[in-house]
């Protein structure tokens, strides 16, 4: 009975996905529905030498961005218009500088060659990609010195890097968002120590992260959150691998799922790359920073006997401490007001997502 019910549910889920973009369609069109919007970014060569590496750069309105996001593409690579249009939108809606490195150096797959992906993967080994990424980070900081924090987004092939870059010992990023990730193991999931959000396809429809692995991720992330590591995962029922980037945006259901996944990514990265804008977080951040400066002033006083100018440090600390104390109640007082404002903001978010979905262009027959 139970088995029949499960089988029926699976059939229903697949039926739903087929109604949206048939599996037969995906089998022959791995790129899904190719978007033809106008790209607003630019291409530059960042790594010079024998093996130059190009990047696509989408700049936000702010001429001096303080945060950047590096996108790791799917197998369709750097020139795939859907990825570039996503980058443009991420720069616009998130306020990030967005960079897409051409890690494949022109060797992206196409629908005609994707059946060679196993061999292709060996041409783009993890150690080389991570070395390139480290060099890209250095170049990014040189080209945009205003950038303080750098996050990552990865799709499918690139989603594996969302996981690997969240482990200790990997090149440092502030946060990662993986969309329908691939090629990760349970051990990779175990190794995560940094902030990560996964926006997954329906595990029942995705061989890259099937139901077994998805259940493991869910369980492991819950344990990680209990230890203070912000690791989150969610999936979009009825939507197959690739839905966020390569789906049929003329189908309102696809447009809504893709838009939700997009804004979840924006929200997660904004919270970790940009200074808080909501009143509660600002008040908490202010209070913490004042307390921290008071604490460090006190620490200076404690350390003072050994210091060269002990007398100078002490009054400074004394002066800072009451200020911090005085600010704290103010912060507390502001909090309820902020709390009242928060639900309003939450309520506005899905509305914005819906508007975005509605704004998606309709396919011409």
Ligand X SMILES: *[C@@H]1O[C@H](CO)[C@@H](O)[C@H](O)[C@H]1NC(C)=O
Binders in 84-113 for ligand X, by CB under 6 A: 112
Binders in 36-55 for ligand X, by CB under 6 A: 36
By CB under 6 A, residue 23 contacts ligand X: no
In contact, 147 and 68? CB cutoff 8 Å:
yes
Q: Which stretch binds ligand X (CB under 6 A): 150-158, 173-181, 247-255, 264-272?
A: 247-255
The dihedral formed by the CA atoms of 158, 162, 165 and 171, expressed in degrees to the nearest 10:
60
According to CB under 6 A, which one of 34, 223, 326, 348 is a site residue for ligand X? 34
By CB under 6 A, residue 248 contacts ligand X: yes
Assign 277 to helix, strand or coil.
coil
Given the complex with ligand X, which of 60 and 160 has the nearer CB atom? 160
> Which residues share a beta bridge with 155?
179
Given the complex with ligand X, which of 215 and 348 has the nearer CB atom? 215
Binders in 281-300 for ligand X, by CB under 6 A: none
In contact, 244 and 209? CB cutoff 8 Å:
no
Given the complex with ligand X, which of 102 and 251 has the nearer CB atom? 251
Rg (CA), the chain: 23
Nearest to 160 by CA among 117, 129, 115: 129
Given the complex with ligand X, which of 70 and 156 has the nearer CB atom? 156
Binding mask 195-214 for ligand X (x = CB under 6 A): ---------------x-xx-
By CB under 6 A, residue 57 contacts ligand X: no
According to CB under 6 A, which one of 251, 261, 265, 283 is a site residue for ligand X? 251
d(CA 191, CA 288): 30
Count residues near ligand X (CB under 6 A): 16
- What DSSP designation does 115 have? G
Q: Which stretch binds ligand X (CB under 6 A): 52-60, 219-227, 243-251, 333-341?
A: 243-251
By CB under 6 A, residue 25 contacts ligand X: yes
Q: Which stretch binds ligand X (CB under 6 A): 34-42, 146-154, 280-288, 318-326?
A: 34-42
Cα–chain center distance at 157: 14
> Which residues share a beta bridge with 179?
155, 199
Assign 217 to helix, strand or coil.
helix
- What DSSP designation does 142 have? H
Q: Which stretch binds ligand X (CB under 6 A): 29-37, 121-129, 219-227, 258-266?
A: 29-37
In contact, 147 and 65? CB cutoff 8 Å:
yes
Residue 343 beta carbon to ligand X: minimum distance, rounded to whole angstroms: 34
Measure CA of the first residue to CA of the last residue in the chain; give whole Å: 44
Neighbours of 2 (CB within 10 A): 6
Positions in the binding site for ligand X (CB under 6 A): 21, 25, 33-36, 112, 115-116, 210, 212-213, 248, 250-251, 363
């Amino acid at each position: 009975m139970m088995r029949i019910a499960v089988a029926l549910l699976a059939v229903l889920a697949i039926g739903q996905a087929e109604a949206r973009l048939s599996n037969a369609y995906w089998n022959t069109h791995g790129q899904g529905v190719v978007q033809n919007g106008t790209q607003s970014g630019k291409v530059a060569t960042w790594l010079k030498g024998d093996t130059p590496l190009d990047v696509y750069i989408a700049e936000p309105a702010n001429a001096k961005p303080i945060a950047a996001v590096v996108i790791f593409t799917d197998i369709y690579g750097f020139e795939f218009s859907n990825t570039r249009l996503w980058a443009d939108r991420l720069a616009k809606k998130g306020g990030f500088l967005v960079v897409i490195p051409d890690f494949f150096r022109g060797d992206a797959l196409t629908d005609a060659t994707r059946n060679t992906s196993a061999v292709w993967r060996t041409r783009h080994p993890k150690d080389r990609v991570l070395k390139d990424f480290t060099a890209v980070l250095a170049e990014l900081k040189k080209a945009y010195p205003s950038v303080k924090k750098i996050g990552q987004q990865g799709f499918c092939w690139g989603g594996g890097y969302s996981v690997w870059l969240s482990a200790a010992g990997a090149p440092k990023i502030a946060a990662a968002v993986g969309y329908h990730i691939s090629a990760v193991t349970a051990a990779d999931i175990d190794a995560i120590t940094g902030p990560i959000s996964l926006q997954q396809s329906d595990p029942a429809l995705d061989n890259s992260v099937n139901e077994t692995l998805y259940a493991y991720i869910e369980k492991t992330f819950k344990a990680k959150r209990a230890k203070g590591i912000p690791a989150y995962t969610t999936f979009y029922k009825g939507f197959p691998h690739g839905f966020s980037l390569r789906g049929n945006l003329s189908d309102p259901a696809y447009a809504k799922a893709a838009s939700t996944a997009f804004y979840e990514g924006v929200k997660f990265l904004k919270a970790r790359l940009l200074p808080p804008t909501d009143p509660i977080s600002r008040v908490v951040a202010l209070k913490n920073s004042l307390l921290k400066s008071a604490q460090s002033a006190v620490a200076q006083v404690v350390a003072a006997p050994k210091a060269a100018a002990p007398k100078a440090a002490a009054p400074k600390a004394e002066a800072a401490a009451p200020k911090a104390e005085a600010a704290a109640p103010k912060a507390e007082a502001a909090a309820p007001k902020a709390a009242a404002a928060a639900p309003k903001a939450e309520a506005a978010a899905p509305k914005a997502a819906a508007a975005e979905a509605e704004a998606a262009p309709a396919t011409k027959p």
